[in-house]
Homo-oligomer: A and B are copies of this chain.
Amino acid sequence: MMKHCGECITRLPIFNMLTDEQFESINYNRCKVKFRPGETIFKQGTAMTHVIIITEGLVKIYLEGTGSRNLILRMARPLTIIGGPGFFTDFKHHITSMAIEETSACFIDVQKMMELIKENKDFAIAMLKWVNIHTQNNYLKLVELTQKGMHGRIAGALIYLNNEVFSGKYGDIRIHRQDLADLTAMSKESAIRILKEFKDENLISVVGNTIIIHDLPRLNAINIKG
C-alpha cells in the first residue's frame, strides 16, 4: 500500500535509493496533472516550486530566446524528471516545457526534494549524476549547433527523434516544422527546404507532420560530415 504510485515514481531509477519513509514523504502530497498539446507546464522565469515527472505523453523543453525565437533542448517522454538548473541556485525555471501530445505529469514539491537530497547521499549523488549527463548533452548541442551546417543539423535531429523520441512503441516521427526548426536553430523555411531535399533523395518520406526514415546510414553520414 505504500508504493501505490507505480506509474510514476517507483519506476524511476533515481528514486530507487529512497527508504519507504522518504519515498512516502514526496509521494504524500504530490499531484498528477493532465496537459493538452500546446499547454505550458513550466514557464521560463517563474518560481520553481515543483519539479515534475512525465508519466504519459510527450513534452518539449526549450529556451525562450530573443524575439520569440525558441531553442528546443530536448523532448521528454515518460519517465523523465523535468527540473532545471534553478535547484539550489535561484529556484527559478530556466526552461519552458510544453506538452506536445496529451501529457500527464506528477508534480513533486521542491522543498521535499531538497530535504531528501540533504538526508540521502545516494539520492544526492544520483541527482549530481543526472545533472552531469545533461551537461554532457548541452556540450554536444553547443558543438552541433555552432559547427555543423543545416543539412547535418536536420539529419542529427531526425536521428535523435527516431532513436530517442519516437522509438519502439511510439511509432513514426511526428513533429511540426517550427519545432524541427527550433530543434536545429534555423528558420522554419530552411528546415522545410532541407526536409524536402531529403525527401527528394529518398532518405525519408514525409506525409503531413509524419516523417519516416528510409536510409538511416546515409542520414548518419550526413549527420557526421556536417
Count identical subunits in the complex. 2
> Number of A residues whose C-beta is below 8 Å from B?
41
How long is the Cα–Cα vector from A133 to B141 in the complex, in angstroms? 18
Contacts of A221 in B (CB 8 A): none
Contacts of A119 in B (CB 8 A): 121
Q: Hey, which bits of chain A sit against chain B, CB under 8 A?
A: 63, 65-67, 69, 71, 73, 84-89, 94-95, 117-119, 121, 124-125, 127-129, 131-136, 138-139, 141-143, 145-148, 185, 226
A-B contact pairs, 20 of them (CB 8 A): A66-B147, A67-B226, A71-B142, A71-B143, A73-B139, A85-B132, A85-B139, A87-B128, A87-B129, A88-B128, A88-B132, A95-B139, A117-B124, A117-B125, A124-B124, A124-B128, A127-B128, A131-B135, A142-B145, A146-B146
